[in-house]
Amino acid sequence: MTQRLVSCRAGDRVIVGAIEASPSRVDRLASIGIVPGIELVVQQTRPVVVVECDENVLAFEREIAAEIVVAKASPEAPAALGHAGGVATAITALAFAISFGLGLSGCTSETHGPNAAGPLPPIAEVHAEKCGACHSLPAPRTRSREYLEQAFSRHHRRVHLTSEDWAAMVEYLAAPGASVAVQTAR
């Protein structure tokens, strides 16, 4: 049985089956690891929906949580696919994805921008938390280094990060070899 994330209760373990939202919202959620097949543990539902996802805690406005379609995870399934013994969760996620006619996109936090590969670095959480508080987040590897450095120079007074975090943010978001901002087709 499927339901919306917004209608879950604290303590529920669910698997994301679909995200019924605009392409930009789907990309934004994917950039923080919310993709079909990922398991979430609901921590609270009001005033915002708070979930644990792959050892990260994320908060969603109720409007956004209403766009995430989920199914209850089996109680004996491990916390995420990819961990030892994740077969039961993988089968549940696969069955759920097939019922929606979707391809299963995996269950680890991955970047989903151009040239996506590997798990998200720790700076991705900072990016979502700090930048996402005011902006629609650009996908990783979609902006030139020059563009990012210029944009970030305007934020140093408002956003307090270490110089190492600023450098890591540029590395995380910069498109390899791009001299101009790259916008992926939507």
Domain end, chosen from 67, 99, 131, is at 99
Above 50 in pLDDT, residue 60? Answer: yes
**DSSP for 113-151, written as a single string:** STT--SBPPTHHHHIIIIITTTSPPPPTT-B-HHHHHHH
Q: Is residue 105 part of a domain?
A: no
Q: How confident is the model at residue 74 (pLDDT cuts 50, 70, 90)?
A: confident
Q: Report if pTM > 0.85.
A: no
Look over the chain and give the mean of its residue pLDDT values, rounded to a whole number: 74
117 inside domain: yes
Per-residue pLDDT tens digits for 30-52: 888 898 889 999 999 988 999 99
79 and 131 belong to one structural domain: no
CA dihedral 165, 166, 171, 174 (to 10 degrees): 150
